[in-house]
Structure 1
C-alpha cells in the first residue's frame, strides 16, 4: 500500500470514533506516516500485534529486541524519520534499554512502545512485569505509562512531537494490556499542548552579531561540526558558510558527513583518535565555533589544555549543553540550520584566514594518516581505505565500536550527510549489524556496508536470520583481529601488556555461519586477495559476509592518551 493511500485512509478514519486501544495505536501511527515498525511480540503486547496482523502495517521481526532497537536507530539516522519499536513487557522491555540509552546519548528520535501487565496487577511482581518507567526515566527524553485508553491518542501524538523536535531523542510509551483492549474515544486532531516544552529554534540576532564580529577579527578560527548539524539538516548551510568565510572544519565522530570529507577546508575528525591537523588547529585557534557538538571527553581531551587561546562560541539547540563542559563566551541557543542561515545573512567581513589556512594545508601534507603496508598481511586501515576507493565513498556505512570504528572514521571520507551510522556516546558493541538493517530499509537502493569487529558481531549475529528472510543486500565486513582490539590496545599501552580477557583465539567459522543462513560468505587472509575479494563482494547482488583476517596487533593512531591535551598526540608519524 502506498504512503499516500495509507495517509488518506488514516485521515478518513481520524475523525472521532470509538475503538480499542490497540486499534488507536495503529491509527495514530498512520497519522504520523510511520512506514515500518521494528519489534518482537509477547503476551502483554499481543493485542497490538493482532492489530498489526489485521491492518497489514509493515513490521520487521528482529530476532532479539536489542536488534530491533538498533535497527530502528539506523533507520532513524538515515531516513531522518523516527524509528518505532514495539516490544512486550518484562524481558522484552529490558532488552531494549541498551538501545534506548544509545539513542539518548546520540540524539536519535525513537518512539518505543513497551507492553505492560494489566493495571490491576502492576506492582505485584506479576509474570513478566518490570518497572519500565523507573528503568527508562534517566535514558529517555520523556516516558509515559497509559492508564486511561482515552488518553492514548494524546500521549502518542505528544511522544512523536517530543522525539522529533528540539534535540531529538527516544520517548517510551508503556502500554498495559488491559488498556490496549479497552474501548475509548479516538481523537487525533487535538493540538499538542506542552507548556513546559518549547525548544528555541531561532537564534538571538545580537548573539549572532557577536559571533560575526569575532569571526571578522579572528586570525585562527575553526569550526567544530557535531551531529547537531546533521540533525538540523544544515550541511548545505555549513558548506556555504565555511566557504564564505574560509573557515576550516573539524568534525566530531558523529558529525562526520556534515561537511564533505574530501573538501580542502576539511581537517578530519578531532579528538582522541582524530587527525593531527584537526587537533592542532583546535589547540592553536583563537576562535572555536562549535555547532551541534557537546564537547564530550573524547573530543576535548584534558579540559585544562583544550583550546587554551580560543574564544569559544557554542551553537546548540539544547541549552543544557552550552557551558556544561567548556566555558563559553558566545552562547547561541538555536537550531543549527537557523543559526547558520543568520550567520550567512549577516555576512561579516571575512577574517584574514589565508595564512592560517596555508599553515593547516601544510600540516595536512606533513602529517597525513598513516599505516605501514605488509606484503602478506592485510592491514585494517588498508581494508577500509580500499573499500572506500572501490565504492568512491558512495555507500551508507555502519560500524560497531572499537578499533575498526576509529579506522573507518579516519579512512572513509564521508562526502554526504547521514551516510555514517555508528554508536558514539554509549559505545555499544553489537550496534553495527542491526543498524545496517535499519539503514538498508531506509534506503533500499543505496549500498550498505557494515564494518564490524569479530567480537561485536557475535553480540547480535542472530539478525542474520532477518537478512536471510528479507534478502537484504547488506555487505558484512568482519575486521577480524581475533581480539577485543581496542581493549587489547589499551592493555598494551597502559596496563603493561597484561591482556586480561581481550585475546579471543577461538572463534566460530564465520563463513559456515553465513552459509547456514544461505548468505554468501568467504574468508580473506592474504593481502594479495584483498582487492579481488572486495570487488567480488560489491558485485554480489545479495547479502554477503566476508571474514577479513587482519593484522592482530595493529593499533589506532594517532592517539591522545588519557589526561593529555589534543596537542600531545602519540603515533603521529611512523616510528
Structure 2
C-alpha cells in the first residue's frame, strides 16, 4: 500500500513493538507529528520540556524495560539538544533510537534555517546513524536501526529524515520484527575449558561484575555462578542490582568510591573474574597496581574491551548470560571457606559509616529510610555527584533494572528526565530521583512534564547549597579554594515545586524523615523533598585520583 514517509515511519515503529515516544515538535518534523495525531491510539507521545529531557527519558525507559527507548526532535537546535542524551546512552550501552528531522534534500549543505549535520555530529557517539535520502529506503533503515541498537553490545542509533522524505509516498509492505540473536559464536569449548581451569585452580577468586550483566539479563546466572564457586562479588556503578546487595557474598562497589573490602579483595585476590565490565578508570585507578597478584578472566560481549585497559590472562567473547549458563553447567560447588571467612571479617572490620547515629540530617540516613519504607522495591534514578555515590552505597539494590544513573558520561541533569522514562516504562513501581541541588537546577523544567502526565515521581534533593562533589575535590586536593562551587541562591524548591503543580516538602530534621517520606509516597502526583544537609559532608570511602585502589581514605582522619 502507498503511504507517506511519516506514516511508514510510524508503521515500522509499531512493527518494532514501540508504543511510547518522548519528543518535542518543530518545523522539520511536522509531518511526523501530523501522523502521530492519527496514530495516537497506538503510539503515545510524551511531550517533554526540552529535547535533552526526551533523550534522557528514552534512556531511562530503556534501562528499566529492557526495550528500545525512542526520542524524536526537529532539525537544528532540536537535534543538537539530543546530543548529550545520546552520548549518555552510548557510554552506558543503552538501546535508544533517536529520530530527527532535517531540512528538505534540496536545502541540505546550504546552511539552511535550522540545518545541522546531525549524523556528522553524532557519529562518534552512536553505534550507527542514518540519513534517509530516498523514501523507498525508509522502512528498511528503521528496521535496521532497531536491530543495530539491540544486537550485541546495545547502544544508540540515530535516524535523520529530511522533511520532504516524510511527505513523499512509497509502497509500504509490513514485515515481522527481526529476531535479535544472542552472540554465542565465540563461546568455544576451548575458551570455556581455560576459564574453568583458572577457576578451579584459584583459592582467592573475586567476581567483578558490571552493566553487561544487566544488559544481558544475566542476574540469575551470576547469582548461581557466585554461589557455585563461592566467591565474593563486587559491582561497578553500572552493575548495581546485577547481584543482590543483601547477599552475604556481596562486598559493595569497587573503585574510587568502593568499599575497602572490595578494593582490598581486588588487591589480594589470585583470580579476578570480570563479567560484563570494562575496567574503567574510576574502577582501576592506577593500572599497574590493580589486582597485582591476580590472573584476569574477562567475559564480555564486546571484543574491543578485552585488553583495552587491563591485560587479561584469558577471555571469553559472548553474551554474558550464555557464557555463564555454559560455565554453570560445567562447574561444581566449592567451599573456599578460608577466603570467604577473610572477606566476611573485612566486611565487619570496614563497614560503610552509614548515618553513624548522629542527630543531624544525613543523606545516608535518608537513603536507608527510603530503602526501609519501600521494602527495597523502588526504582531509584540519580543525577550525578555525591548523592549518586551515596545512593549506590546505601540503598540496597537487589534486582536488575532498578538503578538508573549516568555512569560513563556522568551527566548532571540526567535523573529527572530518566525517572520520567522509568515511571512510564514501569507504571506500577514507585520511582525516586535522588538529586543534588546543582543537578536539579540543570533540568528541573522536566517537573512540568511529570506534572502534565501525573507521574508520581518523588524528587529527593540532597541540598547542600554547593556543587558537592567538586567542592569535595577542592577541599581535599585544592587547599579548600572553593572556586564557583558555592550555591547560596535564593531558590525556594518547595515553592518552585508548587508553581509547577507538584507537592513540595522541606526536610531539615532527622526525626521528620520517615513521616515526610511516607507523606510523599501517599501522594499520587509528583513530589519534591528538599533535604537541607550539611555542606561539608563528604563521600567516603575515596581513593585519591591516580592512587592504587587499596589506598582508601575512609574519612577525614585518614
Does the alignment reach a TM-score above 0.5?
Answer: yes
- With over 3 angstroms needed to count, the CA separation of the structure-2 counterparts of 1:470 and 1:373, relative to structure 1, is same
> Separation in 1 of the partners of 2:557 and 2:188?
47
SS of 1:415's partner is coil
Residue 11 of structure 1 corresponds to: none
**Post-superposition offset of 1:185:** 1.8
Which residue does 1:460 correspond to in 2?
A: 443
Aligned to 2:269: 285
Find the aligned partners of 1:291 and 1:140 in 2 and give their Cα distance: 23
Aligned partners of 2:334, 2:557: CA distance in 1, in Å?
A: 35
1:537 corresponds in structure 2 to: 520
Partners of 2:546 and 2:243 lie apart in 1 by 29
1:322 aligns with 2:306: yes
Q: Which residue of 1 aligns with 2:221?
A: 237
Q: Tell me how far 1:468 sits from its aligned partner.
A: 1.1
Aligned length: 556
1:102 maps to what in 2?
A: 88
1:136 to 2:122 alignment: yes
Shift of 1:80: 0.4
Deviation at 1:504, TM superposition (A): 0.5
> Which residue does the alignment assign to 1:425?
408
User: Which residues of 2 match residues 342-381 of structure 1 at below 5 A?
Assistant: 342-348=326-332, 350-351=333-334, 353-371=336-354, 373=356, 376-381=359-364
**Equivalence for 1:35:** 19
Rounded Cα–Cα distance in structure 1 between residues aligned with 2:52 and 2:520: 27
Whether the 8 Å contact between 1:491 and 1:498 is mirrored in structure 2 is yes
Alignment CA distance shift 1:373-1:360 (3 Å): closer
User: Residues 545-564 of structure 1: matches in 2 within 5 Å?
Assistant: 545-564=528-547
Separation in 2 of the partners of 1:436 and 1:372? 26
Distance 1:231 1:238 in 2: 13
CA RMSD of aligned residues (A): 1.7
Candidates 127, 134, 156, aligned match of 1:170: 156
Aligned-pair CA distance for 1:372: 5.7
Give the CA deviation at 1:528. Answer: 2.5
CA distance in 1, matches of 2:418, 2:317: 31
2:167 counterpart of 1:181: yes
Q: Distance between the aligned counterparts of 1:375 and 1:413, measured in 2? A: 21
CA contact (8 A) 2:15 2:175 kept: no
Q: CA deviation at 1:501?
A: 0.3
Gap runs ≥5 in structure 2: none
Give the CA deviation at 1:527: 1.9
SS of equivalent residue, structure 1 residue 254: helix
CA change 1:235–1:375 in 2 (3 A) is closer
Is the CA contact 1:439–1:448 (under 8 Å) kept in the aligned structure 2?
Answer: yes
> What residue number does 1:338 align with?
322
Task: State the Cα distance separating 1:371 from its structure 2 match.
Answer: 4.5
The aligned runs of 1:47-62 (5 Å cut-off) are 47-56=31-40, 57-62=43-48
TM-score by length of structure 1 reads: 0.94
Write out aligned runs for 1:444-483 (5 A): 444-483=427-466
Deviations 1:199-232 (A, max 9, x none): 5566122111111111111010011110000000
Aligned twin of 2:503:
520
Unaligned runs of 5+ in 1: 1-16
**Contact 1:397/1:449 (8 A) holds in 2:** yes
**1:367 deviation in Å?**
0.3
Instruction: Give 1:265 deviation, angstroms.
Output: 0.6
When normalised by structure 2's length, the TM-score is 0.97
Cα 1:30–1:131, aligned 2, differ >3 Å: closer, same or farther?
A: same
For 2:243, the equivalent position in structure 1 comes to 259
1:137-176 CA distance string (max 9 Å, x none): 0000000000000000110000000001100000000000
Deviations 1:24-45 (A, max 9, x none): 0000011001010000000001
Would you say 1:398 and 2:384 are equivalent positions? Answer: no
